[in-house]
């Protein structure tokens, strides 16, 4: 697999999606966030607000407010008299993020299974979650961007089924930060069949309304990712060096 597959191609200028009433702040937030997650903006890179405004064809106010929100979520840091820098996540930080995910996401899966058993979610929502579980299983070789996008989609579907938007939003922030680290360091360990199998087991447990099993399978899934990270560190201690700032 080619190394450059770990980084998405430079996106074009932003155009608001037709038929969607998204504010300019939300548009700026989503676009800048995706460019950080997909490594268009690298960890440690200084961001120039004026340049971003020109790239996105947006005014300074929505871009500034979007960066403030990304600062709260831990994706950028605002340095006095220096500007905005893309926050680099250390290995220790990512371990803490994964430990947090192990606490939060099994509970979301458990709640989703409980609501499924109680008939509180419709069949279409369950079907979307199940389809997302293995949406990339037939791709060979796997498309890195498609795989990560679908992984985020699956976890988002499970979270939405939980009926707990506060916990779901917290899980989203954690997952997005770990996805960026995956793009940077873990893409070479990709195992699509294993990931899809784990996703399918989670989805099936949720659909069956088995709270304990759904939580257990989600916990196993995240712990497997943590284990891959630990093995890669042992095999290649230099694998987690951050790219130079530009």
Looking up residue 121, the CATH number of its domain turns out to be: 1.20.120.530
Q: What is the pLDDT of residues 222-236, one digit of tens each?
A: 999 888 888 877 776
* Residue pointed to by tokens 């509970």: 107
Q: How far apart are CA 109 and CA 161, in angstroms?
A: 8
Joined tokens for residue 162: 């939980």
Looking at 60, 86, 112, the residue that finishes a domain is 86
Domain assignment present for residue 246? The answer is no
What is the rounded average pLDDT of the residues 77-90?
Answer: 86
Residues 95 and 216 in one domain: yes
Handedness of CA 199, 9, 181, 190 (dihedral sign): positive
Please check the confidence at residue 218 and state whether its pLDDT lies above 50: yes
Give yes or no for a cis peptide into 141 (omega within 30° of 0). yes
Domain assignment present for residue 245? The answer is no
- When divided into structural domains, the chain yields a total of 2
Q: The domain containing residue 49 runs over which residues?
A: 3-86
Domain assignment present for residue 131? The answer is yes
CB 105 within 8 A of CB 154: no
pLDDT at 233: 74
Distances 216 to 10, 213, 230 between C-alpha atoms, Å: 38, 5, 21
pLDDT at 102: 96
Residues 141 and 217 in one domain: yes
Q: How far apart are CA 110 and CA 217, in angstroms?
A: 10
Residues 146 and 80 in one domain: no
Looking up residue 10, the CATH number of its domain turns out to be: 1.10.10.10
Q: What is the pLDDT of residues 92-144, one digit of tens each?
A: 888 899 999 999 999 999 999 999 999 999 999 999 999 999 887 666 666 77
Residues 39 and 24 in one domain: yes
Looking at 86, 112, 131, the residue that finishes a domain is 86
Domain assignment present for residue 207? The answer is yes
CB 35 within 8 A of CB 67: no
What is the total residue count of the chain? Answer: 246
Residues 62 and 137 in one domain: no
Residues 102 and 220 in one domain: yes
Residues 134 and 110 in one domain: yes
Looking at 86, 121, 142, the residue that finishes a domain is 86
DSSP string of 203-238, one letter each residue = HHHHHTT-HHHHHHHHHHHHHHHHHHHHHHHHH-GG
Q: How far apart are CA 77 and CA 102, in angstroms?
A: 25
Against a cut of 0.85, is the pTM above it?
no
Residues 97 and 64 in one domain: no
Half-sphere exposure (Cβ direction) of 34: Cα atoms closer than 13 Å: 16
Residues 136 and 69 in one domain: no
């Amino acid at each position: 697999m080619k190394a450059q597959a770990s980084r998405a191609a430079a996106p074009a200028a932003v155009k608001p999606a037709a038929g969607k009433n998204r504010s300019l702040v939300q548009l700026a937030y989503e676009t800048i966030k995706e460019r950080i997650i997909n490594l268009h903006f690298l960890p440690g890179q200084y961001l120039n607000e004026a340049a971003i405004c020109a790239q996105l064809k947006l005014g300074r106010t929505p871009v500034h407010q979007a960066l403030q929100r990304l600062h709260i979520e831990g994706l950028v840091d605002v340095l006095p008299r220096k500007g905005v820098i893309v926050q680099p996540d250390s290995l220790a930080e990512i371990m803490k993020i994964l430990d947090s995910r192990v606490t939060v996401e099994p509970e979301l899966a458990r709640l989703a299974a409980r609501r499924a058993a109680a008939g509180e979610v419709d069949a279409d929502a369950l079907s979307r979650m199940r389809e997302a579980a293995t949406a990339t299983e037939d791709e060979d070789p796997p498309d890195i961007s498609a795989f990560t996008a679908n992984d985020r989609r699956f976890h988002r579907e499970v979270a939405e089924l939980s009926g707990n938007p506060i916990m779901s939003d917290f899980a989203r922030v954690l997952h997005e930060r770990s996805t960026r680290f995956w793009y940077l360091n873990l893409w070479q360990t990709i195992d699509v069949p294993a990931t899809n199998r784990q996703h399918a087991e989670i989805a099936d447990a949720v659909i069956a309304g088995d709270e304990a099993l759904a939580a257990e399978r989600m916990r196993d899934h995240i712990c497997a990712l943590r284990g891959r990270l630990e093995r890669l560190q042992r095999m290649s201690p230099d694998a987690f060096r951050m790219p130079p700032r530009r």
